[in-house]
Amino acid sequence: MVAIQTETFAQVREEALPLTRAHWDEVEAALHGPETAPLDAEQYARWEALDMLHISTLRQDGRLAGYAAFSLCPCPHRPGVRLAALDGLYLAPGLRGGLAVLRLLRQAETALAERGVGLIQYSSPASRPCDALYRRLGAQHTESIWHKEVR
């Protein structure tokens, strides 16, 4: 049985660690290298305390099998609009290819709207584009994002 709901970071913190590790190894390591702690749990806890974090989860038979995490802030380019930016999206391999991710993100969108969010920003690594998924949700391609590390 699959259940999709909103949960707090405090509720999922320990259970999410293996998924965030798998997410990093699968998607981010090729871009950024191996990481010993792919999630800054203390930062997520701070965001949650400031009402700046939203997590929608997918559970299969009660076990955490996916998440969509968003950071929330006032939109700097649209006064009066609260922005939710996708920070992480992951589904266990056995749940991919069907409608689970679509259901997860639709639940997140509904929950975010209930929290006063007026704009959702979706992103995906260049190595794993999610364009078709985001279009299916009704999102529009509005910009490209480039990163440069400076030291």
Q: Who wins on pLDDT, 147 or 45?
A: 45
Look up the pTM and report it: 0.92
Contacting residues for 32 by C-beta, under 8 A, at least 6 apart: none
Rounded-to-integer distance, Cα 30 and Cα 130, Å: 17
Q: Is the pLDDT of residue 4 over 80?
A: yes
| Predicted local confidence at residue 36, as pLDDT | 66
Angle, in degrees to the nearest 10, between helices 41-49 and 9-23: 140
H-type helices in the chain, by residue range? 9-23, 29-32, 41-49, 100-114, 131-136
| Predicted local confidence at residue 92, as pLDDT | 94
CATH T-level assignment (fold) for domain 2-136: Aminopeptidase (3.40.630)
Of the listed ranges 80-84, 108-112, 122-126, the least confidently predicted one is 122-126
Contacting residues for 5 by C-beta, under 8 A, at least 6 apart: 56, 57, 59, 107
- The tens digit of pLDDT for each residue in 6-51 reads 999 999 999 998 998 888 888 777 777 776 666 888 999 999 999 9
- The tens digit of pLDDT for each residue in 63-104 reads 999 999 999 999 988 999 999 999 999 999 999 988 999 999
